[in-house]
Each structure stands twice: as C-alpha cells, then as structure tokens.
Amino acid sequence: MTSVNPTQRPARSVLVTGGNRGIGLAVARAFADAGDHVAVTYRSGQPPQGFLAVQADVTDPASLDAAFAAVEAQQGAVEVLVANAGTTRDQLLMRMSDEEFDAVVDANLSGAWRVARRAVRGMVRAKRGRIIFMSSVVGLYGSPGQTNYAASKSGMIGLARSIARELGSRGITANVIAPGFIDTDMTRELPEATQADYKARIPAARFGDVDDIARAALFLAEAGYVNGAVLPVDGGLGMGH
C-alpha cells in the first residue's frame, strides 16, 4: 500500500475481529482515524460503515480463511491483527455444562489462536507484524460465575507469550490488552448489583470507555520493542497483576 496517513508513515493493513460493535468498533475507528486501512469481521447483524467488513465466525476456520483472503485482496496482508471477538456464557461452576465451557473457550481462546495462525503467514513473509489479543482483567483476577471466560482469557496470555518467543526474531510482536470493566453491551447485560460491586473496587471509581482500550491498541501497534506484555487498562482494578 502506498497511501500515507496523517503521521506520514505508510498506512498499515489492520484487521479487527468482532469490529462491528463495542470495543472492536472503537479500535477499528481509532486505526482508521490514524490513517490505516482497516478491515473488521462481523458475525451477525449489519456490517459497520466506513471499513472493509468481512463476515466471519472465529469458531469456523473456513469462514476465517475466506475473510483473510478478502482482506488480503483488498488492502494487502494483515500487518496489525486485533483478536478482539469474544463472548460470555456465565454460570456457577457446579451448574456449568460442558457445552457452556467449550463454547466460550472455542470462541475466545481457540478463535484467537485461529486468527493468529492465519495472520502470521503474511507477517512472517513481510518480516513484520503486530498481534494484539483482547484478554480481560478476570483472566488473572478471577471471577465467580466465569470459570469458562476467565480460563479462556488467561489462556490468551500463554498464547501471546509463546508467539512472542516463536516469532519475535521475525519482527512480529504479540501482546495482550487486559481491559477492566468497559461500558459495552457485554457489561450492560450484568446484574446491577454486580456492576455496583465492580465499581466499588475500581480505584478510578468509574467504568472504562471503549476509547480507553482503543488508545492502548494504537500504542501496541506502534511499540516494536514491547513483546509478550500484558497491558492492563482497568482503572487500577487488577493493580497490574
């Protein structure tokens, strides 16, 4: 790609999974505002305006492969991957079914692994790349009723660090953002008492905004010498773990 963004560096080919709403949409907008070529995946609903939108379910490798092929054809191989798609199926451990556990791990952890595996093909060829995994504060903090979700989110840390060790010498970084309680559809679904309980424990005394996460993603996309790191963006809730 030859176009130049407002910061006078070449525009990058960026892909954000789950970029049709919430954190993913804010991240996609931030990269687009920075002058990059941005593609998003959406699974359901309407594709968002202003980006190359490709339909994909991260639990389905064939749909991911087709999505990557479309992105590569339109804006070049992915240079910055934000593996953001994620889901919850909360339930107390004793009541959680195998299906509830497996579905969340398949979407959040295996899904992130699938998109990373597909993205590094082009990154290895280009000898550069940025992979950013959207984990969660609860991956290290724990969360009652979220054994599936917390396990999937802490798994992303081992995933990122292994990629960092495997591909760091090829100019590829893999880092993790651990958002705290961010105001999106996902958290609006939580009971009011749970929301109040979290707010009382956050030193910043407020929930985060999607743009707080977008700024962290922009930083990690720039930071060539930050690799295998976990960046908490949680108002101090996890105290950096």
**Least separation, in Å, of the C-beta of 230 and ligand NDP?**
12
Q: 61: burial class by Cβ within 10 Å (0-12, 13-18, 19+)?
A: middle
Residues of this chain that bind ligand NDP (CB under 6 A): 17-18, 20-24, 41-45, 57-59, 84-87, 107, 111, 134, 136, 179, 181-182, 184-187
DSSP 3-state assignment of 22? helix
Distance separating alpha carbons of residues 138 and 157, to the nearest angstrom: 12
Is 141 among the catalytic positions?
no
Calpha distance 52→107 (Å, rounded): 22
Catalytic residue among 42, 141, 149, 198, which? 149
CB of 210 to ligand NDP, least distance (A): 7
Min separation Cβ 192 and ligand NDP, Å: 15
Least separation in angstroms between residue 143's CB and ligand NDP is 10
In sequence order, what are the residues at sequence separation of 6 or more whose Cβ sits closer than 8 angstroms to the Cβ of residue 56? 17, 41, 42, 43, 63, 64, 66, 67
In b/e form, how buried is each residue of 75-95, taking b as 16+ CB within 10 angstroms?
Answer: bebbbbbbbbbbbbbbbeeee
Q: How far is Cα 182 from Cα 233, in angstroms, rounded to an integer? A: 9
Question: Which residue number, 11 or 155, has a Cβ lying nearer to ligand NDP?
Answer: 155
Which is nearer to ligand NDP, 115 or 167 (by Cβ)? 115
The residue (of 60 and 171) whose beta carbon lies closer to ligand NDP is: 60
Q: Which is nearer to ligand NDP, 11 or 202 (CB)?
A: 202
Contact present, 118 and 67 (Cβ < 8 Å) = no
| Structure token pair of residue 8 | 């006078």
Q: What residues act catalytically?
A: 149
